[in-house]
A and B are shown apart, each in its own frame.
Chain A
Amino acid sequence: MNKSVIEVNRLNLQNIKIPYLITGTIFLVMLAQDVVKALTAHNSGNMVEQSLISIGNLLWLLIPLAAIFVATKNFRRLINLGCRRGNFFAGSLTTYFILAVVISLANTLIFYTYDRFINSTGYFYGVINCLEVFGWSVNGPVIACIQQFAFLFLVATVTHILALMQDNWVGWVVDLIIIAVIIVFTPIAFFNLIIFQSNAFLQIISCLTLAVGLYALSYPALSRKKI
């Protein structure tokens, strides 16, 4: 990896402050809310009659937010610093790889510690974490973490592509329409493959292949992108 690619990655990770801030704020607010609810239940001795959404899942928000910022804000600033498009392409992929790894590790850790602790208090019906909802946790912490990483990596690259290809607000409207069409008309089998697949290896390979394949296919769009 050349030093330009490493620098693109470093600058990307350093210059997504708003995504960090939004994700961090939501994470802390929800954490505080959980604590207040737990304390209230503890003091009153009554169970809170609801399930909690795991705060670990909220960290997922960082992935699409970061991809949007990298593709729309950082791209131009990197070019103004003399970055070549090819280095931006490789550097940003590295950024998404690192973010997906870190978020997956954090959520897995939260799932096996914080979520279990909350469950053990008996103050709530339960804690909902996508690791469990998507059926990844049955494969154990290591495999579940890798499955989650592969999925988040795919989310990052797809968001990056959608954001990068748009130069104005009309593009974003088109993006939303495309996303809606995908959600409505894409066969359930596709989601089974990238999310609910019982074969962890197949799910991981599908997500990684799609992520890298789509990202590679987006290079011509990047190379033609106006600055």
Chain B
Amino acid sequence: MIDFVNVTKKYSRTTAINRMTLTISENGIYCLLGKNGAGKTTFMKLLAGYIGATEGEIAVNGQSVTPSHMPKSVNFIESNSEQFNMRVSDLIESAAALQEDFDKDFAWEMIERFDLKPGKKYKQLSFGMKTMLSTILTLANNSKIILLDEPTLGFDAIMRDQFNTLLLESYQAQPRIIIVSTHMIDEIAKITEQLIIINNGKILLKTGIEDIDEHAYTLTGPEKVISPLIKELNCIGKTSVGSMMAAHIYGDRIAPPSGVSLDRLTLQDFFIQIVGGIDHE
């Protein structure tokens, strides 16, 4: 179980995390969304004990988390993490020797699945392959909490699809808390169950993906019909073109009046509207 209570993290004059309070108690794949600089990486580093909070309390399973008390149950990897320039096979063996709960069979299975050449040295791998290897090394650890920061950076569409499969299989093999920060929103939506949106160092939203499916929608129609209609609704953004308007809503669905269409809002559009929602004329 993860507990953030009024956590603030400042870098000199910049506040990366601002009085964040969050509890995650259930296993699942959590998608962490936020603009660049929203505080996603800082959030993960704080949770892993890589850095310390300026204020507030962070706990994992009731144990306080600080750089001097890095939780054993948390495993974190960044997309551009440095590794020794060793053969892939040697890195697997070293990780197995260094980590208490390393599942070597799973790691080897994934290495074969993703066609990572065991004899190749780390620096000979493409950027995407390096990221994939680091992700496999992390997922192969049987930690109860896995943090993946931008794990699909540098992946092509096929690799992203393979990665999603890897993540899902890893989760099915061992249900736990997996938090993935990514910008590939709609792709991760296929496998994730929970959504956490960070904005300006604060939790903007924590909800289930099905909640977004159910409550996020767009009303499109004449502006003179839409404008009065949305006064009573939670409008998170709107776009006007001529006399027509598209209003993005997050709330209970309504029965649209005649001349107005109601369409489901994709996760990516929902994210764009809720984080950077502005009026477009």
Chain A residues near B (Cβ < 8 Å) = 3-4, 6-8, 11, 14-15, 74, 76-78, 80-85, 87, 220, 223-227
The residue in A4, A74, A77, A78 that gathers the most chain B C-beta atoms within 10 A of its C-beta is A77
The residue in A7, A81, A220 that gathers the most chain B C-beta atoms within 10 A of its C-beta is A81
CB neighbors of A among B90-118 (8 A): 91, 94-95, 97-100, 102
> How many pairs of A and B residues are in contact by the CB < 8 Å rule?
65
CA distance A226 to B178 in the complex (A): 23
5 A-B Cβ contacts within 8 A?
A15-B85, A74-B84, A83-B98, A87-B98, A224-B68
Judged by a CB distance under 8 angstroms, whether B12 is at the interface is no
Closest A residue, CB atoms, query B85? A15
B40: chain A residues within 8 A (beta carbon): none
Closest A residue, CB atoms, query B81? A80
Contact call A224/B141, Cβ cutoff below 8 A: no
B138: chain A residues within 8 A (beta carbon): 82
Taking residues whose C-beta sits less than 8 angstroms from the other chain, chain B's interface range is 20 to 34
B91: chain A residues within 8 A (beta carbon): 81
Closest B residue, CB atoms, query A3? B97
Contact call A81/B75, Cβ cutoff below 8 A: no
Partner of A81 from the list B45, B52, B67, B98 (CB cut-off 8 Å) is B98
Contact call A223/B67, Cβ cutoff below 8 A: yes
Q: How far is the CB of A26 from chain B (nearest CB, A)?
A: 23
CA distance A8 to B97 in the complex (A): 9
A80: chain B residues within 8 A (beta carbon): 77, 81-83, 134
Q: How far is the CB of B95 from chain A (nearest CB, A)?
A: 5
B155: chain A residues within 8 A (beta carbon): none
Contact call A82/B67, Cβ cutoff below 8 A: no
Contact call A227/B134, Cβ cutoff below 8 A: no
CA distance A193 to B47 in the complex (A): 46
Contact call B82/A81, Cβ cutoff below 8 A: no
Q: How far is the CB of B140 from chain A (nearest CB, A)?
A: 9
Chain B residues near A (Cβ < 8 Å) = 45, 50-52, 66-68, 70, 72, 75, 77, 81-86, 91, 94-95, 97-100, 102, 134, 137-138, 141
Q: How far is the CB of B43 from chain A (nearest CB, A)?
A: 15
Starting from the known contacts A6-B97, A80-B77, A82-B75, 6 additional A-B residue pairs (CB-CB under 8 Å) come to A4-B99, A14-B84, A15-B85, A81-B91, A81-B137, A84-B72
CA distance A74 to B45 in the complex (A): 19
CA distance A7 to B95 in the complex (A): 9
Closest B residue, CB atoms, query A85? B70
Closest A residue, CB atoms, query B78? A80
CA distance A8 to B102 in the complex (A): 16
Q: How far is the CB of A5 from chain B (nearest CB, A)?
A: 10
Contact call A81/B68, Cβ cutoff below 8 A: no
Contact call A220/B98, Cβ cutoff below 8 A: no
A227: chain B residues within 8 A (beta carbon): 45, 50-51, 67
Contact call B50/A7, Cβ cutoff below 8 A: no
Partner of B83 from the list A8, A81, A84, A226 (CB cut-off 8 Å) is A81
Contact call B83/A77, Cβ cutoff below 8 A: yes
CA distance A76 to B97 in the complex (A): 17
Partner of B67 from the list A3, A84, A226 (CB cut-off 8 Å) is A226
